[in-house]
Amino acid sequence: MKTAIVFGSSGLVGQQLVQQLIQNNTYRKIKLFVRKNPNIQNPKIEIIETKFEDLEILSAELKGDDCFFCIGTTKKNSLDKSEYQKIELDLPKKIANLAKQNGIQSFVFVSSGYANSKSSGDYLRFKGLVEEELISLKFNVLGILRPSFLLGNRKEKRIGEKIGIIIFQILSPLMMGPLKKMKPIHVKLVANAMIKIAQLNLRQTIFESDQIVKLNQN
């Protein structure tokens, strides 16, 4: 049986991922790296409270089989540009390198649709740069997911995103061909795909939103 490592367990994707990992018999232990103790109890769960700047603690505890990374923030929550970069760019690269050094076999990362290291916007550029770093590390199994607008019960209310989701849901029937990847996707499908990628020996590395949906149908 395997040990799962989760970064971002309090977020929309992370919460669903943890619930599915608990129900999955492949995993005997689920390590949650968190800044503060979450309100979750299960025999499989091991809580590791840490400051992510503390490399010694991270390195000592970052041991297992499959590492799932779904930490993300918004510029609204990180007004300081350097802090935003630390969370969106520096942290995932740091975690991925430590995971590789510790012999972790698979790394699954929640990126974003249209991620591009040459993008003029920080969000898509940082995601693209992280993707390039992950590919260069040559994990045995690597999954990069690029979901579109996420559907689910989000604690934090994002008005702009909510409006975008409504518009895209209305337009979804018209989204054919290359536009399929723009359709909103439920967070349950993303979490399930993350686990499938870690468990299956797939040749594919990058999964656009419509491909995430297809993965759930197999």
What does the alpha-carbon distance between residue 27 and residue 103 come to, in Å, rounded to a whole number?
A: 18
For residue range 133-188, list pLDDT tens digits in order.
999 999 999 999 999 988 877 655 555 555 555 555 555 565 555 556 678 899 99
Phi and psi, residue 14, nearest 5° = -60, -40
Task: Name the burial class of residue 140, with classes exposed (0-12), middle (13-18) and buried (19+) by CB atoms within 10 angstroms of its CB.
Answer: exposed
| CATH architecture for residues 2-155+186-217 | 3-Layer(aba) Sandwich (3.40)
Average pLDDT over the chain, rounded to an integer: 88
| Contact predicate 70/13, CB 8 Å | yes
Residue with token string 């367990």: 9
| Contact predicate 182/148, CB 8 Å | yes
Query: What global pTM score does this model have?
Result: 0.88
What spatial distance separates the first Cα and last Cα of the chain, rounded to whole Å?
A: 23
Supply 50's token pair. 């840490």
What does the alpha-carbon distance between residue 123 and residue 88 come to, in Å, rounded to a whole number?
A: 8
Residue with token string 């975690």: 95
What does the alpha-carbon distance between residue 212 and residue 193 come to, in Å, rounded to a whole number?
A: 6
Q: Is the pLDDT of residue 129 over 60?
A: yes
The beta strand positions in 25-162, using DSSP E, are 27-34, 45-49, 66-69, 106-110, 141-146, 150-151
Give the residues across from 49 on adjacent strands. Answer: 34
For residue range 21-39, list pLDDT tens digits in order.
999 999 999 999 998 888 8
Lowest mean pLDDT among 54-68, 142-156, 204-218: 142-156
